[in-house]
Amino acid sequence: MNDLKLRTKPSGSDVQLFDAVVIGAGFAGLYALYRLREMGLAVRLYEGAGGVGGTWWWNRYPGARVDFPSAPYYSYSFSEELLNEFEWKERQPSQAEVLSYLDFVADKLKLRTHIQLETWIQDAVFDEIAQRWNIETHLGEHISTQFLISAMGTLSEANKPNIPGIDDFAGEIIHTGRWPAEEVKFAGKRVGVIGTGSSGIQSIPMIARQAEHLTVFQRTPQYSIPAGNRPVKPEEIADARANFDKRREFMKVSPLGMPYPMSERSALDDSPEVRNALYETLWQDGGLHMLFNSYNDLLTNKAANDTLCEFIREKIRSIVKDPETVKKLLPDYILATKRQAIDDGYFETYNEDHVDLVDLRDDPIVKITADGITTKNGEHPLDMLVLATGYDAITGKLLRLNPKGRGGLDLATAWDKRFFTYLGVAIPGFPNLFMVHGPQSPSVLYNMPYGGEMEGDWIRDCIAYLRDNNIATIEPAPGVDEPWAENVEEAAKQTLFHGTDSWYSGANIEGKHRQFIVHLGGPEYFKHLTDVAEKNYEGFVLGKESATLASAKA
């Protein structure tokens, strides 16, 4: 134990003391910072990027935008002032617009004095004697904090594919999730894109507009839906502002935390003619409404799901002219069990003469060389390579930090066999560590800004309870993770998600546990969080001795 204290220099004049440290300046981290500061804690937020924004800071790739018809709803819901003062421009705001919103929020809520940018937390060790986290930044700073809040993002640990020779490529390689702030020029270049998930599908049409030649390397064809983006109408904003409270009430009971009514009909209740007419209307309107405003059983009934799969396959056949390319583009998995993509002219791009599609299922990559990509059937000379290859989702970033909890046990060892948490917010053996959008919480299958607010509120209330009751530590009781994992698995089994290899279940990362780690309960999940709090944090062990709060000392 003393070793642990020595390793992170827990005492001495150069140690900065906080009540709470938040890691990550995305939607969730900024909100947690705001709430904890409001309750009077000494709190600091650390962020590795050069600005606030989280995923919206890093994902500057061409075409990046919110994939829900969301303005003004992809935003904080708690403040009428924020809603009234920010003017959203597009129905599906671009990366730049969301980033400018988060900059506006950071200024408006006066958060910046509590944020340290360009600082990576590289070590976090729980000191069992002091009952505090000892943290070290990459700059060699030492911090001691009672509470550590991870808001590091669910899609933030970029997946660099393990392709032979990838480091030999002589041209520029860019991952979509680590896109440079300065303009990337494609003109006159032969560009290759590996990956056709949401990021690939959004960026491919934009890259094709500039590049001399574009080769897309596709492993799994996707069902993409037109985005249908357009300027947001003044009456839509006026309506959102006039119905601020009503909207929050609606979101609270909505399965996905969205302010939209969901369909209550089965896809099998309608005749093919009626069903296809509805799909056509929603296709023309664009966006993910197609999934939620059409029928209620697309994710639970394979026969229902098949109807939309076939509708979209028929669209692909009608848009793409070359029959060989059509064959490569026709998806065959269960729709929406991989994250549903939306696009702006994606399938049309394959009608361009300077765009080629390589189907890696028939023609796999053998290696990357200095000059391009070698597949089984040929050479693809390239000047630039875009990796749209996704993320070690949900657990990747926290595992990279690899915090050490009780007895010096590190997280990678604790999660060696499977991921386990309690409520998706805490991990047995890691006292006073809270996660926002952690594994086994609704995270990516829920309205993330809104879910982050509710989890942030829960963490704030929990810390207030501990303070009021002179309690130093909180951590899950032994064994509570088992029923929680069963609860998460059980919810997933009621759906079609189990039928597909996806990043929701770790299938995209070699060696990662194959475990579905998203809680699909929506409002039930948040009710459960509230119930636990109301029962004085049932399922948690509360440590009796109080650590001195930095704010109380100051």
Contact footprint for ligand N01 (CB under 6 A) = 65-67, 155, 161, 163, 176, 194-200, 202, 217, 219-220, 339, 360, 388-391, 444, 503, 508
Check: CB of residue 66 under 8 Å from CB of residue 449. no
Helix (H, G, I), strand (E, B) or coil at 457: helix
CA dihedral angle for residue 498, residue 502, residue 503, residue 505, rounded to 10 degrees: 20
Q: Nearest approach, Cβ of 456 to ligand N01 (angstroms)?
A: 20
**What is the rounded CA–CA span in Å between residue 291 and residue 269?**
16
Closest to ligand N01 by CB, 169 vs 391, is 391
Residues 6+ apart with CB under 8 A from 273: none
In angstroms, the first-to-last Cα distance of the chain is: 28
Q: Nearest approach, Cβ of 369 to ligand N01 (angstroms)?
A: 16
Closest to ligand N01 by CB, 58 vs 430, is 58
Helix (H, G, I), strand (E, B) or coil at 58: helix
The whole-angstrom distance between residue 228's C-alpha and the CA centroid of its chain comes to 22
| H runs (alpha helix) in 219-264 | 234-242, 244-253
Closest to ligand N01 by CB, 308 vs 368, is 368
Angle at 435 between CA 105 and CA 67, to 5 degrees: 55
Q: Nearest approach, Cβ of 334 to ligand N01 (angstroms)?
A: 13
**What is the rounded CA–CA span in Å between residue 300 and residue 501?**
17
Closest to ligand N01 by CB, 109 vs 357, is 357
Cis peptide before 523 (omega within 30 of 0): no
Closest to ligand N01 by CB, 26 vs 200, is 200
Q: Nearest approach, Cβ of 196 to ligand N01 (angstroms)?
A: 4
Check: CB of residue 450 under 8 Å from CB of residue 464. no
Q: Nearest approach, Cβ of 457 to ligand N01 (angstroms)?
A: 24
Q: Nearest approach, Cβ of 216 to ligand N01 (angstroms)?
A: 10
Closest to ligand N01 by CB, 20 vs 64, is 64
Q: Nearest approach, Cβ of 350 to ligand N01 (angstroms)?
A: 15
**What is the rounded CA–CA span in Å between residue 492 and residue 521?**
9
Closest to ligand N01 by CB, 161 vs 255, is 161
